[in-house]
Every structure is written in structure tokens, then in C-alpha cells.
Amino acid sequence: MESTTQTFNHRLTSIKLWPPSQSTRLLLVERMTKNLITPSIFSRKYGLLGKEEAEEDAKQIEDIAFATANQHFEKEPDGDGGSAVQIYAKESSRLMLEVLKRGPRAKDGETIISEKVDAAHETIFDISGGRRSFIDAEEAEELLKPLKEPGNAYTKICFSNRSFGLDAARVAEPILSSIRDQLKEVDLSDFIAGRPEEEALEVMNIFSAALEGCVLKFLDLSNNAMGEKGVRAFGTLLRSQHNLEELYLMNDGISEEAARAVYELIPSTKKLRILHFHNNMTGDEGAIAISKMVEHSPVLEDFRCSSTRVGSEGGVALAEALGSCTNLKKLDLRDNMFGVEAGLALSKALPAFSDLTEIYLSYLNLEDEGTEALANALKDSAPSLEVLEMAGNDITTKSAAALATSIAAKQFLTKLNLSENELKDEGAILIGKALEDGHGQLNEVDVSTNMIRRAGARFLAQVVVRKPGFKLLNIDGNYISDEGIDEVKDIFKNLPNLLGPLDENDPEGEEDADEEDADNDDELESRLKGLEIRQDE
């Protein structure tokens, strides 16, 4: 154990929480500027800021937040800076909210026009509420009547949760054709449920032709079991789309051939910000087709390709394509068969993601080699990361040090999921040390099913229970002794709701010749608690 501890000591270096570097301050200004110019509920009510004004406001906000936090830090010069970081983040958020509520400043002689829509002119037509049902021609005529009213202002339609047959589709066709020039968002998810394949394909053809040429920003075709035939049935619509910003093709039976069809049919993804391919049968060849779409989506912010049966070859292709997506904020690749090679490829792409706030890398067979490469890449990128998930990747104590160093650098982290690995007590305590200083926004930690015993569970509990907004610690499915369970419960005695269930915990654990036994738990915790988790300058 001594040699292992020395190895960890050698590999970890110290965190300097305050003051932030100039590059970190500039990144915060840039991120706030983007938030201030992005349409939201506030811009609809108070008006949208221009880029120049937003940048000026963001700089002022950062200056004030920095000064406030620095003043606090100077009063506690011997502190680690964690509380100053929290003040810096909270003050920035508070001031930015004030600016959003204020709206754009009116220039001399100019009146600011907000994007607020008059309540008398509805813009969203949604028939998805209520029970899931088949629609016949008569019901379609009645349901779609508002779309026939002269001068209606509908820009978004949602037909989800209602199953259209041929008769209903023929009723909808002329109505949709009459309003297609005003449509910006179309949701046709789950709109052919239970129909025979031949009828479903004809319905898709009818809707596709009716909507051809509309200039959409948003298109959702999820939950339609389309396959390649379905994708091509929507070919007329897809070929006419040059301005899509959001595209959802989830649970559609997107095979390799269907993925290639999507890539072939959509003429441009230059404006695409969100692309979701969750729960399909895409495989490696399909992933290669999707990677070509990703490669030509320079403003992509949110990419989801989870549960798509993608292996190493497809994973590498996706990772390399993602390297060009420098605006990426959310990445979800969970539940694929990437393996180490794809993990290494992804680690090379990560440094490009300076705005990344959420990353989901669970169940990818990354193992220690892939995990360590990704952890090292994350350490110096994604400074505003809020969610990190790496469950079910066969992570052991071997890569726990690199992972801990990366986590220590993520001071805005709110959720950490490392469940179903093999961290054991050593890894758990290292992760606890990484979270000990700062991390004032942390609210959820999941290290269930990690072969953790009394020492690791106790130390993690002691760390997270002190976080001001913490909500849940999940340490179930481990090997914590009855005495250890009592200790953890005592730590949470004033906040019992913050501790998850322990029904699956096995006090007996598995016998392991290399594992410290219960009598040495205190010694193990003592040795590892003395480690410093440090971040290179």
C-alpha cells in the first residue's frame, strides 16, 4: 500500500482555486456574452440584446463579480479560495439575470421592440395532449380546423402521440400545404404508431410532400420505426431543408443504410446546433455516415448518439469528426461499444470543447487506458463542465488518480456519476479529496457498485455532506460493513434525505487478497487523506 500511495503522490499536483487565470476570466465573459444574445423567455418578454451590448455587459459583470470575490478572498488570505470561486460564480449568475430582465438599452431616439407575442396570435399548434389514439378523417378535420383559419400565426406544429392513417393524412395534406411557408418547427414524432408498414410509408410520403419547401429550424421525426424506407419516404421534405438548427431521429430504427440515407438527403447542416440519434441500430458503418454530418456541422452544440450499437471503428470516426465542433456544449455517447481506441481518439478531440458543460461517457468499455486519456484531456479543457458521467467503464484504482485530478479542476461540477466501476476505497477517497475543496455547486454523486468499503464510504460522506446545495449521495451496491453503514448514517443524521438507499449493499463483500481488510480501513483512509490533489499551472 505504501508504494501505491507514493505513486499517487507523485502523479497528483496542487489546485490553485483563486485567483482564476486571465484565460478563465475571458472564457467566462465569452460564455456570458453567448447566453445574453441567445433567444430565451427573457428576450421574448424584454427584448434581445445585440452582440456588442452583450459583450460590454458581460465584461462589466465579470469585473464586478471578480472584485467582489477577490475582496472576500483578501479577508481570508489563508483560505484555499473555494468560497471565493463560489461567490464569483453566484455573483456572475445574479448580475447576468438582472441584465436579461432589463433587456436591451434604448439608444437615443430609438424604441426597443421585444419578441413578445400577442396572446391573441398563438404560434404553437399542439395536438399531442391526452391519450394516445388513432385519428380518422372526421377527427382530423375537427382537430386541424384552427390551422385553416385565415391569418393564423402558427409557426410550430406538434402532431406527436396521435396516429395518422391514410384518410387522416389526406385531410391534413392541403392544410399543411397552405401554411408551410410560415412554419419554422415541425414535430411528427410518434405519429404513425400501430399502422401497417405500407400505410405508414404512404402517410410519411403525404406529409413529406405537403411540407416540402418549408424553411424549418426544428424537425423531430423520432419514435416512428422508420428504417431506411421511412427516411426515404421523408426524402422530399429532407431534401428541401437548408436551415435546420435542430434534428431529432431517436428510436427510429436507424440502421446503417438509414443513416447513410439521412446523410445523403439533407443538403446542409451548416446551421445545425442539435443532433440526436438516440436508441437506434446505427452500427459502425452508420456512425461513419453520421460522422460526415457532424463534420459538416460547425456550430453543433448538442450531439447525442447513445445506445446506437457503435463499435470502435464508428467511435473513432465520430470522435475525429467532433474535433471540428468547437461550439459543443453537450455530448452524449452513452451505451456503445467504443473501447479503448475510440476513447483515445475522443481524448484528442476534447481540447476543442471550451464551452462543454455536460459530457456523458458511460458504458463505453473505456477501461483504465481510455479513462486516463480522457481525464487528462478534460483536466485542461471544458472549464465550465457541470455534468460528468463515466459509469460502467471498468475503471479501477489505476486511473483513479488522473480522474481525481481532472475532477478537482471542475469547480462548476453539479453531477458526478462513476457507478458500476472498480474504484474501491483508494479510488473513492481520491475522488473525495478531489471534491473536498470548492465545488460549491455540487449536488449529486453516484459511486454505487464500486467495491467500496467502510473507509471510502465514510470519507465521501464527510466530504459531500458539507456542500451547501447537495442533494444525493448514492453508495449502494458496495461492500460497506454494518459499522460503516452506521457511521455514514450518523454523518447524514441531520440530512437523511441526502443519502440514497443502501438495500443492495453487501456487508460481507468479496474476498480479495489485495484488498485492505476491515481492520485496516482506518489506516487506509489516513494514508490517502494526506494526499494533495493538485492541478498543474
Handedness of CA 299, 303, 308, 314 (dihedral sign): positive
Backbone Cα Rg of the chain? 26
- Residues 6+ positions from 418 with CB-CB distance below 8 Å: 390, 391, 395, 403, 431, 446, 447, 450
| HSE, side-chain direction, 13 A CA sphere, residue 194 | 9
Strand blocks (E) in 433-502: 444-446, 472-474
Distances, alpha carbon 450 to alpha carbons 392, 419, 420, 528, in Å: 10, 6, 6, 17
Rounded to whole angstroms, the Cα distance separating 187 from 487 reads: 52
Q: Which of 351, 425, 347, 353 is nearest to 390 (CA)?
A: 347
- Answer left, alpha or beta for residue 515, where phi above 0 means left and psi between -120 and 50 means alpha: beta
Cα 15 from chain centre: 26
- Residues 6+ positions from 250 with CB-CB distance below 8 Å: 222, 223, 276, 277, 278, 279, 280, 304
Asked if 396 and 366 touch (Cβ cutoff 8 Å), the reply is no
| pLDDT at site 187 | 97
- Residues 6+ positions from 425 with CB-CB distance below 8 Å: 452, 453, 454, 455, 456, 516, 521, 524, 525, 528
Asked if 264 and 236 touch (Cβ cutoff 8 Å), the reply is no
Rounded to whole angstroms, the Cα distance separating 23 from 15 reads: 16
Cell numbers for 199, please give them.
400505410
pTM of the model: 0.76
3-state secondary structure of 482: helix
Asked if 484 and 453 touch (Cβ cutoff 8 Å), the reply is yes
Q: Is the CATH number 1.10.246.200 carried by domain 22-102?
A: yes
CATH 3.80.10.10 in the chain is located at 395-509+521-536
3-state secondary structure of 59: helix
Q: Which helix (H) or strand (E) covers residue 157, if one does? A: strand 156-158
CATH 1.10.246.200 in the chain is located at 22-102
Q: Which helix (H) or strand (E) covers residue 164, if one does? A: strand 162-164
Q: Which of 340, 413, 401 is nearest to 376 (CA)?
A: 401
Distances, alpha carbon 130 to alpha carbons 133, 144, 159, in Å: 9, 16, 12
Angle, helices 197-211/166-179, rounded to nearest 10 degrees: 10
Rounded to whole angstroms, the Cα distance separating 419 from 151 reads: 54
Q: Burial code of 359-370, b = ≥16 C-beta within 10 A, e = fewer?
A: bbbbbbbbbbeb
| pLDDT at site 510 | 65
3-state secondary structure of 158: strand
∠ CA 232-237-238, nearest 5°, is 65
- Residue identified by cell 464586478 is 64
Per-residue pLDDT of the chain (537 residues; tens, 9 = 90+): 444 444 444 444 444 567 887 777 888 888 888 888 877 656 555 677 788 888 888 888 888 888 777 777 777 665 667 777 777 877 887 787 778 767 776 543 333 333 333 333 569 999 998 778 899 999 999 999 999 999 899 999 999 999 999 999 999 999 999 999 999 999 999 999 999 999 999 999 999 999 999 999 999 999 998 999 999 999 999 999 999 999 999 999 999 999 999 999 999 999 999 999 999 999 999 999 999 999 999 999 999 999 999 999 999 999 999 999 999 999 999 999 999 999 999 999 999 999 999 999 999 999 999 999 999 999 989 999 999 999 999 999 999 999 999 999 999 999 999 999 999 999 999 999 999 989 999 999 999 999 999 999 999 999 999 998 899 999 999 999 999 999 999 999 999 999 999 999 999 876 543 444 444 555 555 555 555 555 443
Distances, alpha carbon 293 to alpha carbons 259, 261, 267, in Å: 10, 11, 10
Q: Which of 338, 341, 350 is nearest to 377 (CA)?
A: 350
Q: How far apart are the first and last CA of the chain?
A: 29
Cell numbers for 186, please give them.
415541425
Helix and strand element counts for the chain (H, E): 20, 15
| pLDDT at site 68 | 79
| pLDDT at site 263 | 96
Rounded to whole angstroms, the Cα distance separating 67 from 20 reads: 12
3-state secondary structure of 459: helix
Which CATH code fits 395-509+521-536?
A: 3.80.10.10
